[in-house]
Amino acid sequence: MTPPLVAGGPRRRCRPRRVRIGATAHDGRIYVAGGFDKAGNVIGDLQIYNPQTNHWRRAAPMPTPRAFVRLTWSGGRLYAIAGVGNHNENRLGTVEAYKPATNSWTERASIPIPRAAPALGTLADGQIVAAGGGTQTHSPLPDVELYTPSANRWRRLTPLLQPSSGGPTGVVVDGDVFYVIGGFTNGMKLTASRFVESAVVN
C-alpha cells in the first residue's frame, strides 16, 4: 500500500538540477521540462514526478532544448511552447507536443512571435492562450495568441493593456476567462494586486 503523502515531508530531487524550467501538473503527476543546467547550458530533459510514490521518471526529452519554456495540456498531450535557447541568447517560437502513450514528441506550428516565458493556459474547449513574454531585446510583449490544436493554427487576439514579461502567470477561470497576473513591464515588477488582466475568449 502506498504511504500517504505528508505535507512538508522530504521529497526526492529532480536530477539534473536546473533553473528557469517549465512545469505543470496533470492526472496526479508533475511534469518538468527544460531549463538551464548548472553550467548554464539549455537542456531538453523531461521528467515526471509521482507525489504518491515520491519517484521521478525520465521521459523522452524535448527535441528542442530550451529554458523559460511554458507547459500546458490539451487533448491528452503536453504542449511545450516558446522559450530561450543558446545560453539565454535567442527567443524561440517553437511548439512541440508530447504524447504519453507513445513517449514521443511532435513538432507543431510555431507561435508567430518568438518569446520567453509567456503566460499560458488551456481553455475548456482545448484551445491554448499565450500572452506576453519577453522578446530578443528583453522588451515585454503585449501580444496575445490563441492556438487551436485540431487545426494546428495560431491567431492573434486583442493585446494586453500593459505589456508583461519575466514570467507572468496565466490562469483560466470558468473555462473561457483567461487572467494574466504579474510579470515585468519596462523594468518595473508587477504584482497580482497591481496588474490583473482578463479576457473572455471565444
pLDDT greater than 70 at residue 192: no
Instruction: Specify whether domain 22-200 bears CATH 2.40.110.10.
Output: no
Mean model confidence pLDDT for the chain: 86
Three-state DSSP at 73 gives strand
Reported as a pLDDT band with limits 50, 70 and 90, residue 185 is confident
| Model confidence at 23: pLDDT above 60 | yes
Cα–Cα dist 109/82, whole Å: 11
Regarding predicted confidence, which is higher, 139 or 23? 23
The reported pLDDT for the residue numbered 87 is: 64
**Residues 107, 98 contacting (CB under 8 angstroms):** no
* Residue-wise pLDDT tens digits, 123-168: 999 999 999 998 887 788 999 999 999 999 999 999 988 888 877 7
Instruction: Reply yes or no on whether the pLDDT at 80 is more than 90.
Output: yes
Output the pLDDT for position 116: 94
* Predicted model pTM: 0.87
CA distances to 35, 164, 185, 194, 197 from 191, in Å: 24, 11, 11, 5, 12
At residue 108, the pLDDT reads 98
For 88-121, b/e burial (b = at least 16 CB within 10 A) is eeebbbbbbbbebeeeebeebeebebbbbbbbbb
Output the pLDDT for position 15.
65
- The full set of domain ranges for the chain reads 22-200
Residue reference for cell 535557447:
85
Q: Tell me the CA distances in angstroms from 4 to 27, 35, 51, 130, 155, one per residue in order.
A: 17, 31, 10, 36, 45
What does 15-35 look like in DSSP terms, one character per residue? SS--BS-EEEEETTEEEEE--
Least confident piece of the model among 70-84, 118-132, 165-179:
165-179
Q: What is the pLDDT of residue 14?
A: 65
> Is the pLDDT assigned to residue 13 strictly greater than 70?
no
Beta-bridge partner residues of 144: 131, 157
